[in-house]
């Protein structure tokens, strides 16, 4: 029984960290949607997309609102992975795990650099192994530094926690983490 409690504790811890990451991301995107610019200039984006974001074009604002909605879904999913709401039916378990594994794969791939930005791409750019148009070289180096120090570690932490929570939930998600409710005869 102790092993199950420990694994449920790991699930809850990883899920709570994932919740915190989703909350922070959603709060930042909400700030952007409402006209703020917290960490906006440090976001690694192509020059055109960055300009759209800084100029608050309708498409960029709509994208920020969509990210807020996605963060809310992520926060709810993290609470479910933590065991906060008890056991789920088969369909909800499968949907929760499929979304969690997809999120984990995307976030870790993003952090590693498989999607363009990430550790590998940043290091290639900063060591001169990646070519950048001269007009965007300074911006690219600025973004690579921020990505290497903030964004990639954030996505790696977020994705790893999703994966850990999903892995443990897969095995122990049917068990409640809190007291068992009394059953009526």
How confident is residue 47, by pLDDT bands cut at 50, 70 and 90?
Answer: confident
Q: Using one digit for the tens of pLDDT, what is the confidence trace for 115-145?
A: 888 999 999 999 999 888 898 899 999 999 9
Does 185 fall in a domain?
A: no
The total of structural domains in the chain comes to 1
Classify residue 183: in a domain, yes or no: no
pLDDT for position 69: 98
What is the pTM (predicted TM-score) of this model?
A: 0.84
* More confident: 147 or 94: 147
Does residue 182 fall inside a structural domain?
no
In a domain, 179, yes or no: no
63 inside domain: yes
Q: In terms of residue numbers, what domain contains 151?
A: 2-172
Q: Is residue 184 domain-resident?
A: no
Of 50, 39, 54, 170, nearest in space to 104 by CA: 170
Three-class SS of the chain: CHHHHHHHHHHHHHHHHHHHHHHHHHHHHHHHHCCCCCCCCCCCCCHHHHHHHHCCCHHHHHHHHHHHHHHHHHHHHHHHHCCCCCCCCHHHHHHHHHHHHHHHHHHHHHHHCCCCCCHHHHHHHHCCCCCCCHHHHHHHHHHHHHHHHHHHHHHHHHHHHHHHHHHHHHHHCCCCCCCCCCCCC
Distance CA 15, CA 78 (A): 5
Condensed to tens digits (0 to 9), the pLDDT of residues 59-112 reads 999 999 999 999 999 999 999 888 877 667 888 888 999 999 999 999 999 999
In a domain, 16, yes or no: yes
Residue 44 has pLDDT above 70, yes or no: yes
């Amino acid at each position: 029984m102790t092993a199950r409690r420990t694994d449920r504790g790991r699930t809850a811890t990883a899920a709570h960290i994932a919740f915190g990451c989703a909350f922070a991301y959603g709060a930042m995107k909400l700030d952007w949607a409402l006209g703020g610019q917290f960490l906006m200039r440090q976001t690694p984006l192509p020059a055109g997309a960055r300009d759209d974001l800084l100029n608050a074009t309708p498409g960029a604002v709509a994208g920020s609102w969509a990210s807020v909605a996605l963060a809310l879904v992520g926060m709810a999913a993290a609470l479910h992975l933590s065991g906060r709401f008890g056991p789920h039916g088969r369909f909800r378990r499968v949907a929760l795990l499929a979304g969690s594994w997809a999120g984990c794969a995307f976030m870790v791939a993003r952090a590693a650099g498989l999607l363009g930005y990430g550790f590998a791409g940043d290091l290639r750019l900063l060591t001169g192994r990646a070519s950048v148009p001269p007009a965007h070289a300074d911006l690219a180096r600025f973004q690579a530094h921020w990505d290497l120090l903030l964004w990639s570690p954030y996505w790696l932490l977020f994705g790893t926690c999703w994966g850990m929570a999903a892995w443990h939930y897969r095995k122990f998600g049917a068990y409640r983490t809190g007291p068992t409710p009394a059953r009526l005869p």
